[in-house]
Chains A and B, each alone.
Chain A
Amino acid sequence: MKKLVLPLFVPFFLIGCSNEQTIQVTDLAADEEKRIEIEDAIRNKEEIYSANAIFVNDELLVSIQVDPWLGFKEQKVEKRLQKEIEEKYPDLNVLVSSDYKMYWESQKLLDEEDEKKMADEVKKLKDLAKEET
């Protein structure tokens, strides 16, 4: 048992050390310029370690994961990014969420090919985000 502890926990520590941000943006129905700009906007936030952005028609769902040590700032980061993207693209329907549900579902959506299904899913997620109880 004791011998197992080290090999089990070392990977966790090593993962914790990696400083790289993983940002993924879907390219369905969105031009290159927008994608890069959104990606840059996310990359500028140092608190975010991982993010997914889903583009569908005029809907944009950005799910972010904030560094656990900065958990108290999560809401603020979320609001700031939301405002920033909204100002840049007033015609887009943006939702920035730091919720793990959004992150998990959008991770699955990244590989989705069918545009209609993706739009439905994004709409469902946005409705889900509004629920409070």
Chain B
Amino acid sequence: MDPQEYQQLEQQMTPPTPYLKNVLKAFFVGGIICTIGQAITYLYVIFFNFTEQTAGNATVATMVFIAMILTGLGLYRKLGQFAGAGSAVPVTGFGNAVISAAIEGRTEGFVLGVGSNMFKLAGSVILFGVASAFFVALIKLILVSVGVLEW
């Protein structure tokens, strides 16, 4: 059997990916997560001294915290299996990435295991987030000093 034949056989055997179903699942679960986030924002705005602008930080922290607890309880894995990107793209996916990597490294000890593995996945998110924020701010600074935009 040459490689081409094998590839054909493989394509015949694998079941078709239900793209539409996956997309719909991800869309609705992601939407529900964002709705919960919006509800938390309104909670902070109404019951605490936050404005819509400043409530964002607190909301992100709360959402990440909830996702971390769910990951520790093993519930976020089930959600991830069901919804795929719908549970990974919102900021809750970040909390999941931190804690699941930490759990993974637990067997190697506290410092070298948990400590060094914790940001194995999420570290790149932080690095590129900070770097891109820097460049966006730089571009905005240039545009403002040229006079195209206002702060």
Which A residues are within 8 Å of any B CB, using their own CB? 99-102, 104, 128-129, 131-133
Contacts and interface: CB of A to CB of B under 8 A. Distances in A.
Contacts of B22: none
Nearest to B55: A101
Interface in B43-59: 45-46, 49-55, 57
Contacts of A131: 51, 53-54
Interface in B31-83: 42, 45-46, 49-55, 57
A132 B45 contact: no
Contacts of B55: 101
A101 B50 CA distance: 7
Contact of B42 (A99, A100, A129, A133): A100
A5 B62 CA distance: 30
B54 to A, nearest CB: 6
A100 B53 CA distance: 9
5 cross-chain pairs, A with B, having the tightest CB-CB distances, nearest first = A101-B51, A99-B52, A99-B51, A101-B45, A100-B52
B42, B46, B49 pick with most chain A CB within 10 angstroms:
B49
B46 A128 contact: no
A80 to B, nearest CB: 14
A118 to B, nearest CB: 18
